[in-house]
Amino acid sequence: MTSELRNRLLFGAFLVLMVGALVVFDVLTAGRWGILALGLAAVLLGSREFTRLARVHAARVRLAPMIAVSLALVAEAHLHPGGALAALLPAAAARLAPVPLVPLLLGAGLLWTVLSQMASRQPTERFFANVGGSLFGMIYLGLCFNLLERLAILGDAAHPERGLQLVACFLVAVKCGDIAAFFGGTNFGRHKMCPGISPGKTWEGFACSFAGSIGGTLLISWLFALSGAPTFAGWWQPVVWGVVLGPLGAAGDLAESCMKREAAMKDSGRGAPGFGGYLDLLDAIILAAPVAYLLALAL
Protein backbone atom coordinates (compact mmCIF):
# COMPACT_ATOMS: atom_id res chain seq x y z
CA MET A 1 0.00 0.00 0.00
CA THR A 2 1.42 3.36 -1.02
CA SER A 3 1.68 6.21 1.48
CA GLU A 4 -0.77 8.27 -0.59
CA LEU A 5 -3.40 5.52 -0.50
CA ARG A 6 -2.83 4.99 3.23
CA ASN A 7 -3.27 8.72 3.91
CA ARG A 8 -6.36 8.77 1.73
CA LEU A 9 -7.93 5.88 3.64
CA LEU A 10 -7.09 7.33 7.05
CA PHE A 11 -8.20 10.86 6.27
CA GLY A 12 -11.28 9.56 4.44
CA ALA A 13 -12.26 7.50 7.47
CA PHE A 14 -11.81 10.54 9.71
CA LEU A 15 -14.07 12.62 7.44
CA VAL A 16 -16.74 9.92 7.35
CA LEU A 17 -16.76 9.76 11.15
CA MET A 18 -16.88 13.55 11.48
CA VAL A 19 -19.72 13.98 8.99
CA GLY A 20 -21.57 11.04 10.50
CA ALA A 21 -21.23 12.51 14.00
CA LEU A 22 -22.65 15.87 12.88
CA VAL A 23 -25.57 14.18 11.10
CA VAL A 24 -26.32 12.10 14.19
CA PHE A 25 -26.16 15.30 16.25
CA ASP A 26 -28.74 16.86 13.93
CA VAL A 27 -31.00 13.82 14.22
CA LEU A 28 -30.77 13.73 18.03
CA THR A 29 -31.37 17.46 18.42
CA ALA A 30 -33.99 17.66 15.63
CA GLY A 31 -32.01 20.59 14.23
CA ARG A 32 -29.73 21.35 11.31
CA TRP A 33 -26.79 23.05 13.02
CA GLY A 34 -24.38 20.25 12.14
CA ILE A 35 -25.11 20.33 8.43
CA LEU A 36 -24.97 24.14 8.50
CA ALA A 37 -21.52 24.01 10.12
CA LEU A 38 -20.35 21.57 7.44
CA GLY A 39 -21.57 23.84 4.66
CA LEU A 40 -19.94 26.93 6.12
CA ALA A 41 -16.62 25.12 6.63
CA ALA A 42 -16.66 23.67 3.11
CA VAL A 43 -17.31 27.07 1.52
CA LEU A 44 -14.68 28.81 3.64
CA LEU A 45 -11.96 26.27 2.88
CA GLY A 46 -12.97 25.83 -0.75
CA SER A 47 -13.02 29.57 -1.48
CA ARG A 48 -9.40 30.01 -0.44
CA GLU A 49 -8.24 27.19 -2.71
CA PHE A 50 -10.47 28.33 -5.57
CA THR A 51 -8.88 31.77 -5.37
CA ARG A 52 -5.42 30.22 -5.34
CA LEU A 53 -6.18 28.44 -8.62
CA ALA A 54 -7.94 31.37 -10.27
CA ARG A 55 -5.29 33.97 -9.46
CA VAL A 56 -2.82 32.32 -11.83
CA HIS A 57 -4.70 33.97 -14.71
CA ALA A 58 -7.01 36.40 -12.89
CA ALA A 59 -4.61 38.13 -10.53
CA ARG A 60 -7.27 40.21 -8.77
CA VAL A 61 -9.98 37.66 -8.12
CA ARG A 62 -11.60 38.98 -4.95
CA LEU A 63 -11.50 36.58 -2.00
CA ALA A 64 -13.44 38.80 0.44
CA PRO A 65 -16.69 39.14 -1.57
CA MET A 66 -16.44 35.51 -2.65
CA ILE A 67 -16.26 34.25 0.93
CA ALA A 68 -18.82 36.72 2.31
CA VAL A 69 -21.45 36.04 -0.36
CA SER A 70 -20.85 32.27 -0.39
CA LEU A 71 -21.22 32.03 3.39
CA ALA A 72 -24.36 34.19 3.23
CA LEU A 73 -25.82 31.89 0.56
CA VAL A 74 -25.24 28.84 2.76
CA ALA A 75 -26.90 30.60 5.68
CA GLU A 76 -29.81 31.74 3.46
CA ALA A 77 -30.87 28.13 2.92
CA HIS A 78 -31.50 27.80 6.66
CA LEU A 79 -33.95 30.71 6.73
CA HIS A 80 -36.48 28.41 5.08
CA PRO A 81 -38.81 26.11 7.06
CA GLY A 82 -36.82 23.30 8.63
CA GLY A 83 -33.57 25.27 8.66
CA ALA A 84 -31.45 26.00 11.71
CA LEU A 85 -31.84 29.78 11.47
CA ALA A 86 -35.58 29.53 10.86
CA ALA A 87 -35.91 27.61 14.13
CA LEU A 88 -33.72 30.08 15.99
CA LEU A 89 -35.22 33.28 14.54
CA PRO A 90 -38.72 32.37 13.33
CA ALA A 91 -40.01 35.96 13.16
CA ALA A 92 -37.04 37.22 11.13
CA ALA A 93 -37.20 34.17 8.84
CA ALA A 94 -40.91 34.78 8.21
CA ARG A 95 -40.25 38.42 7.26
CA LEU A 96 -37.41 37.45 4.92
CA ALA A 97 -39.30 34.55 3.30
CA PRO A 98 -40.79 36.60 0.43
CA VAL A 99 -37.51 38.44 -0.24
CA PRO A 100 -35.48 37.00 -3.19
CA LEU A 101 -32.30 36.79 -1.15
CA VAL A 102 -30.30 34.54 -3.49
CA PRO A 103 -30.29 36.91 -6.51
CA LEU A 104 -29.88 39.88 -4.17
CA LEU A 105 -26.79 38.32 -2.59
CA LEU A 106 -25.30 37.46 -5.98
CA GLY A 107 -26.07 40.98 -7.20
CA ALA A 108 -24.43 42.50 -4.12
CA GLY A 109 -21.39 40.28 -4.70
CA LEU A 110 -21.17 41.41 -8.30
CA LEU A 111 -21.40 45.08 -7.28
CA TRP A 112 -18.75 44.62 -4.58
CA THR A 113 -16.40 42.89 -7.03
CA VAL A 114 -16.85 45.47 -9.79
CA LEU A 115 -16.30 48.39 -7.43
CA SER A 116 -13.19 46.70 -5.99
CA GLN A 117 -11.82 46.17 -9.48
CA MET A 118 -12.46 49.76 -10.51
CA ALA A 119 -10.84 51.04 -7.31
CA SER A 120 -7.65 49.08 -7.94
CA ARG A 121 -4.48 50.60 -9.41
CA GLN A 122 -5.12 48.97 -12.79
CA PRO A 123 -8.91 48.89 -13.11
CA THR A 124 -9.03 47.82 -16.76
CA GLU A 125 -6.44 45.05 -16.53
CA ARG A 126 -8.11 41.64 -16.93
CA PHE A 127 -11.45 43.13 -16.01
CA PHE A 128 -13.49 40.24 -17.42
CA ALA A 129 -11.23 37.59 -15.88
CA ASN A 130 -11.12 39.17 -12.42
CA VAL A 131 -14.83 39.99 -12.14
CA GLY A 132 -15.97 36.83 -13.90
CA GLY A 133 -13.71 34.61 -11.80
CA SER A 134 -14.99 36.15 -8.56
CA LEU A 135 -18.65 35.72 -9.56
CA PHE A 136 -18.00 32.18 -10.78
CA GLY A 137 -16.59 31.33 -7.35
CA MET A 138 -19.75 32.62 -5.65
CA ILE A 139 -21.92 30.46 -7.91
CA TYR A 140 -19.63 27.42 -7.91
CA LEU A 141 -19.35 27.26 -4.13
CA GLY A 142 -22.02 29.51 -2.62
CA LEU A 143 -25.00 28.69 -4.83
CA CYS A 144 -24.28 24.98 -5.12
CA PHE A 145 -23.88 24.59 -1.37
CA ASN A 146 -27.01 26.67 -0.86
CA LEU A 147 -28.93 23.98 -2.76
CA LEU A 148 -27.17 21.19 -0.86
CA GLU A 149 -28.24 22.80 2.43
CA ARG A 150 -31.78 23.12 1.08
CA LEU A 151 -31.69 19.40 0.32
CA ALA A 152 -30.82 18.79 3.98
CA ILE A 153 -33.87 20.63 5.31
CA LEU A 154 -36.43 18.84 3.13
CA GLY A 155 -39.01 16.91 5.11
CA ASP A 156 -42.46 17.06 6.64
CA ALA A 157 -44.20 16.21 9.89
CA ALA A 158 -44.45 12.54 8.94
CA HIS A 159 -40.80 12.23 7.95
CA PRO A 160 -38.79 15.17 9.36
CA GLU A 161 -35.38 13.55 8.82
CA ARG A 162 -35.82 12.84 5.10
CA GLY A 163 -33.56 15.74 4.14
CA LEU A 164 -30.65 14.37 6.16
CA GLN A 165 -31.25 10.95 4.65
CA LEU A 166 -31.19 12.46 1.17
CA VAL A 167 -27.89 14.21 1.90
CA ALA A 168 -26.46 10.89 3.09
CA CYS A 169 -27.74 9.16 -0.08
CA PHE A 170 -26.27 11.97 -2.17
CA LEU A 171 -22.82 11.79 -0.58
CA VAL A 172 -22.79 7.99 -0.75
CA ALA A 173 -23.85 7.98 -4.42
CA VAL A 174 -21.19 10.47 -5.47
CA LYS A 175 -18.35 9.23 -3.30
CA CYS A 176 -18.99 5.51 -3.84
CA GLY A 177 -19.05 6.23 -7.56
CA ASP A 178 -15.76 8.11 -7.20
CA ILE A 179 -14.15 5.29 -5.21
CA ALA A 180 -15.35 2.62 -7.65
CA ALA A 181 -14.03 4.69 -10.56
CA PHE A 182 -10.62 5.02 -8.86
CA PHE A 183 -10.18 1.31 -8.17
CA GLY A 184 -11.81 0.26 -11.43
CA GLY A 185 -9.61 2.58 -13.45
CA THR A 186 -6.50 1.49 -11.54
CA ASN A 187 -7.13 -2.22 -12.10
CA PHE A 188 -8.96 -2.35 -15.42
CA GLY A 189 -8.39 1.01 -17.09
CA ARG A 190 -7.19 0.76 -20.68
CA HIS A 191 -8.99 3.43 -22.70
CA LYS A 192 -8.42 7.08 -21.82
CA MET A 193 -11.61 9.01 -21.24
CA CYS A 194 -10.45 12.61 -21.64
CA PRO A 195 -6.63 12.76 -21.66
CA GLY A 196 -6.66 16.48 -22.37
CA ILE A 197 -8.31 17.13 -19.00
CA SER A 198 -7.36 14.23 -16.73
CA PRO A 199 -4.94 11.62 -18.13
CA GLY A 200 -5.78 9.14 -15.36
CA LYS A 201 -9.51 8.90 -16.13
CA THR A 202 -10.57 5.86 -18.18
CA TRP A 203 -13.83 4.63 -19.64
CA GLU A 204 -13.48 1.43 -17.62
CA GLY A 205 -13.27 3.43 -14.41
CA PHE A 206 -16.26 5.51 -15.47
CA ALA A 207 -18.27 2.31 -16.07
CA CYS A 208 -17.32 1.06 -12.60
CA SER A 209 -18.54 4.33 -11.10
CA PHE A 210 -22.12 3.40 -11.97
CA ALA A 211 -21.84 0.17 -9.98
CA GLY A 212 -20.47 2.06 -6.99
CA SER A 213 -23.03 4.85 -7.17
CA ILE A 214 -26.07 2.60 -7.64
CA GLY A 215 -24.86 -0.03 -5.18
CA GLY A 216 -24.05 2.53 -2.50
CA THR A 217 -27.42 4.25 -2.85
CA LEU A 218 -29.31 0.95 -2.73
CA LEU A 219 -27.41 -0.12 0.38
CA ILE A 220 -27.91 3.05 2.40
CA SER A 221 -31.57 3.45 1.33
CA TRP A 222 -32.14 -0.19 2.42
CA LEU A 223 -30.60 0.60 5.82
CA PHE A 224 -32.86 3.63 6.19
CA ALA A 225 -35.87 1.49 5.25
CA LEU A 226 -34.94 -1.01 7.98
CA SER A 227 -35.07 1.83 10.50
CA GLY A 228 -38.73 2.35 9.66
CA ALA A 229 -38.31 5.66 7.80
CA PRO A 230 -37.63 4.87 4.13
CA THR A 231 -36.09 7.64 2.05
CA PHE A 232 -37.63 6.52 -1.24
CA ALA A 233 -41.04 5.12 -2.05
CA GLY A 234 -39.91 2.43 -4.50
CA TRP A 235 -36.87 0.30 -5.36
CA TRP A 236 -36.35 2.05 -8.70
CA GLN A 237 -35.90 5.51 -7.19
CA PRO A 238 -32.48 4.86 -5.59
CA VAL A 239 -31.40 3.30 -8.89
CA VAL A 240 -32.34 6.50 -10.74
CA TRP A 241 -30.63 8.50 -8.00
CA GLY A 242 -27.37 6.60 -8.52
CA VAL A 243 -27.56 6.58 -12.32
CA VAL A 244 -28.04 10.35 -12.50
CA LEU A 245 -25.73 11.55 -9.73
CA GLY A 246 -22.82 9.17 -10.30
CA PRO A 247 -21.80 10.66 -13.69
CA LEU A 248 -22.35 14.18 -12.37
CA GLY A 249 -19.83 13.46 -9.63
CA ALA A 250 -17.33 12.52 -12.34
CA ALA A 251 -18.19 15.73 -14.23
CA GLY A 252 -17.47 17.77 -11.10
CA ASP A 253 -14.11 16.05 -10.74
CA LEU A 254 -13.25 16.83 -14.36
CA ALA A 255 -14.34 20.45 -13.97
CA GLU A 256 -11.87 20.95 -11.15
CA SER A 257 -9.21 19.16 -13.20
CA CYS A 258 -9.73 21.82 -15.88
CA MET A 259 -9.08 24.52 -13.28
CA LYS A 260 -5.94 22.80 -12.01
CA ARG A 261 -4.55 22.21 -15.50
CA GLU A 262 -5.06 25.85 -16.44
CA ALA A 263 -3.33 26.86 -13.21
CA ALA A 264 -0.60 24.23 -13.82
CA MET A 265 -1.14 22.75 -10.35
CA LYS A 266 -1.48 19.09 -9.42
CA ASP A 267 -3.67 19.74 -6.36
CA SER A 268 -5.81 22.64 -5.20
CA GLY A 269 -3.99 22.65 -1.84
CA ARG A 270 -2.34 20.50 0.80
CA GLY A 271 -4.90 20.47 3.59
CA ALA A 272 -6.38 17.02 2.90
CA PRO A 273 -3.74 14.27 3.24
CA GLY A 274 -3.97 11.74 0.43
CA PHE A 275 -6.40 13.88 -1.55
CA GLY A 276 -4.56 17.16 -2.03
CA GLY A 277 -6.70 20.13 -1.12
CA TYR A 278 -10.17 20.52 0.28
CA LEU A 279 -11.47 21.50 -3.14
CA ASP A 280 -10.18 18.14 -4.41
CA LEU A 281 -12.48 16.54 -1.83
CA LEU A 282 -15.49 18.71 -2.66
CA ASP A 283 -15.28 18.82 -6.45
CA ALA A 284 -17.41 15.73 -7.09
CA ILE A 285 -20.36 16.96 -5.01
CA ILE A 286 -20.44 20.61 -6.17
CA LEU A 287 -21.86 20.25 -9.69
CA ALA A 288 -24.11 17.36 -8.63
CA ALA A 289 -25.73 19.26 -5.73
CA PRO A 290 -28.25 21.31 -7.81
CA VAL A 291 -29.39 18.19 -9.66
CA ALA A 292 -29.69 16.24 -6.39
CA TYR A 293 -32.01 18.91 -5.00
CA LEU A 294 -34.12 18.90 -8.17
CA LEU A 295 -34.18 15.10 -8.22
CA ALA A 296 -35.32 15.02 -4.58
CA LEU A 297 -38.25 17.29 -5.43
CA ALA A 298 -39.16 15.07 -8.40
CA LEU A 299 -38.89 11.76 -6.52
Reported as a single tens digit per residue, the pLDDT across 49-58 is: 999 998 887 7
Q: Please tell me the pTM assigned to this model.
A: 0.92
Cβ-based neighbour number of residue 259 at 10 Å: 19
Assess whether pLDDT exceeds 80 at residue 121.
yes
Looking at the structure, do residues 289 and 219 belong to the same domain, yes or no?
yes
Q: Considering the domain boundaries, does residue 14 fall inside one?
A: no
Q: Considering the domain boundaries, does residue 196 fall inside one?
A: yes
Q: Which of 296, 173, 161, 156 is nearest to 228 (CA)?
A: 161
User: How many structural domains is the chain composed of?
Assistant: 2
Looking at the structure, do residues 61 and 171 belong to the same domain, yes or no?
no
Looking at the structure, do residues 146 and 39 belong to the same domain, yes or no?
yes
Q: Which of 223, 206, 207 is nearest to 172 (CA)?
A: 223
Q: What pLDDT, on a 0 to 100 scale, did the predictor assign at position 157?
A: 67
Q: At 106, which helix (H) or strand (E)?
A: helix 101-118
Q: Considering the domain boundaries, does residue 13 fall inside one?
A: no
Q: Which of 153, 185, 212 is the last residue of a domain?
A: 153
Looking at the structure, do residues 57 and 145 belong to the same domain, yes or no?
yes
Looking at the structure, do residues 173 and 140 belong to the same domain, yes or no?
no
Q: What is the pLDDT of residues 240-296, one digit of tens each?
A: 999 999 888 888 888 998 988 888 888 888 877 777 888 888 988 999 999 999 999
Q: Which of 105-109, 114-118, 247-251 has the lowest mean pLDDT?
A: 247-251
First-last CA distance in the chain: 41
Q: What pLDDT, on a 0 to 100 scale, did the predictor assign at position 268?
A: 85
Assess whether pLDDT exceeds 70 at residue 109.
yes
Q: Considering the domain boundaries, does residue 2 fall inside one?
A: no
* In the chain, % of residues over pLDDT 90: 43
Assess whether pLDDT exceeds 80 at residue 189.
no
Looking at the structure, do residues 122 and 177 belong to the same domain, yes or no?
no
Cβ-based neighbour number of residue 94 at 10 Å: 12
Assess whether pLDDT exceeds 70 at residue 1.
no
Residue 259: which domain range?
Answer: 160-299
Q: Looking at residues 60-69, what average pLDDT do you find?
A: 92
- How does the average pLDDT of the chain come out, rounded? 88
Q: Which of 153, 188, 214 is the last residue of a domain?
A: 153
Q: What pLDDT, on a 0 to 100 scale, did the predictor assign at position 75?
A: 96
Q: Considering the domain boundaries, does residue 17 fall inside one?
A: no
Q: Considering the domain boundaries, does residue 51 fall inside one?
A: yes
> What's the gap between Cα 262 and its chain centre?
21
Q: Which of 95, 127, 153 is the last residue of a domain?
A: 153
Q: Considering the domain boundaries, does residue 288 fall inside one?
A: yes
* In the chain, % of residues over pLDDT 70: 99
Looking at the structure, do residues 241 and 281 belong to the same domain, yes or no?
yes
Q: What pLDDT, on a 0 to 100 scale, did the predictor assign at position 33?
A: 93
For residue 198, the cross-strand partners are 194
Q: What is the pLDDT of residues 131-183, one digit of tens each?
A: 999 999 999 999 999 999 999 998 876 788 888 999 999 999 998 888 888 88
Amino acid code (one letter) for 221: S
Q: Which of 164, 40, 146 is nearest to 100 (CA)?
A: 146
Q: Considering the domain boundaries, does residue 6 fall inside one?
A: no
Looking at the structure, do residues 101 and 186 belong to the same domain, yes or no?
no
- Which residue did the predictor score with more confidence, 174 or 184? 174
Looking at the structure, do residues 144 and 198 belong to the same domain, yes or no?
no
Looking at the structure, do residues 81 and 108 belong to the same domain, yes or no?
yes
Looking at the structure, do residues 257 and 290 belong to the same domain, yes or no?
yes
Looking at the structure, do residues 101 and 180 belong to the same domain, yes or no?
no
